[in-house]
Amino acid sequence: MGAPHKTWTVLPHGPLEAVDGNIMTVVGEIKLPTGQLPRRMTVVRLADQRLVVFSAIALREGDMRRLEQFGTPAFLIVPNAIHRMDARIWKDRYPAMQVITPRGARSKVSEIVHVDAVDGAFGDPGVSFVSVPGTQDCESALVVKGPSGATLVVNDLIGNIHGTTGFGGWLLRLMKFAGERPHIPLPCKFKLVKDRSALKAQLLRWADIPDLRRILVSHGSTIETDPPATLRRLAHSLS
């Protein structure tokens, strides 16, 4: 995804947006040889006002101040070994943050930043860290339950990029990161997924989460139209 940053480096990004009362998200861009790739950071506020930062992105100072007003950065989730570009600079900025990554990613992430844990115990029953079954503990997700419904936060497991053009867009569509509907990207399906049956079962469990309102993905648009049906379709694509 890019060389890990050593100093606070702000790449193009949009505004911080409230998704739910205790969830904020921002979409940025990184430049690849074939074009621009959207990337998302999701921030979840726990009951005690601490923040869980999933797939960190360095933001402009005004946005960082807004984030600090939202809560206290306490947990830094590096969701897999690829999404580590901004991990070190976030830890440098907030030394008290606990760095969490799934067990299968720990070795690679530790090359960039010290890893404190391979599971998440946030002290809030409404927020759960998931080391995704079927990925050899290399991919992680969050389940956030609140009064207005549930939100599933995934990383590279689901791609949902729209409006792609040119050669770069064609390549993203070919790899199933982009298209008219969400897909499990081919690089993820063939490199990351080691046990399709286990992943299928997890997708179906997520589909059964009561009042699941949305799925936030690291690359692409939020899935808000019948997310359980999307999860079931993706599960059966693994058969």
CA distances in angstroms from 215 to 88, 158, 184, 200, 229, listed in the order given: 27, 9, 13, 16, 11
Q: Does residue 2 sit within a domain?
A: no
> Tokens 């621009």 sit at which residue?
36
Q: Is the pLDDT reported for residue 175 higher than 80?
A: no
Rounded-to-integer distance, Cα 220 and Cα 113, Å: 27
Sign of the CA dihedral running 93, 95, 97, 100? positive
Show the tokens assigned to 113.
């930043």
Show the tokens assigned to 182.
């969400």
Rounded-to-integer distance, Cα 226 and Cα 213, Å: 8
Looking at the chain, the whole-number percentage of residues with pLDDT higher than 90 is 79
Q: Does residue 104 sit within a domain?
A: yes
The number of folded domains in the chain is 1
- Cα of 212 vs its chain's centroid, Å: 17
Q: Is the pLDDT reported for residue 169 higher than 90?
A: no
pLDDT per residue over 55-76, tens digit each? 999 999 999 999 999 999 999 9
Structural domain for 168, as ranges: 17-236
Q: Does residue 11 sit within a domain?
A: no
Q: Is the pLDDT reported for residue 1 higher than 70?
A: no
CATH number at residue 51: 3.60.15.10
Q: Is the pLDDT reported for residue 87 higher than 70?
A: yes
Q: Does residue 31 sit within a domain?
A: yes
* pLDDT in the model for residue 19: 92
More confident residue, 168 or 6: 6
Q: Does residue 210 sit within a domain?
A: yes
pLDDT per residue over 193-209, tens digit each? 999 999 999 999 999 99
Q: Is the pLDDT reported for residue 212 higher than 70?
A: yes
Rounded-to-integer distance, Cα 43 and Cα 46, Å: 10
Q: Does residue 122 sit within a domain?
A: yes
Q: Does residue 71 sit within a domain?
A: yes
Q: Is the pLDDT reported for residue 178 higher than 80?
A: no
Per-residue pLDDT, averaged over 214-235, amounts to: 96
* pLDDT in the model for residue 161: 86
pTM above 0.85, yes or no: yes
Per-residue pLDDT, averaged over 12-25, amounts to: 95
Q: Is the pLDDT reported for residue 32 higher than 80?
A: no
Q: Does residue 43 sit within a domain?
A: yes
pLDDT per residue over 133-153, tens digit each? 999 999 999 999 988 899 999
Residue 135: strand, helix, or coil: coil
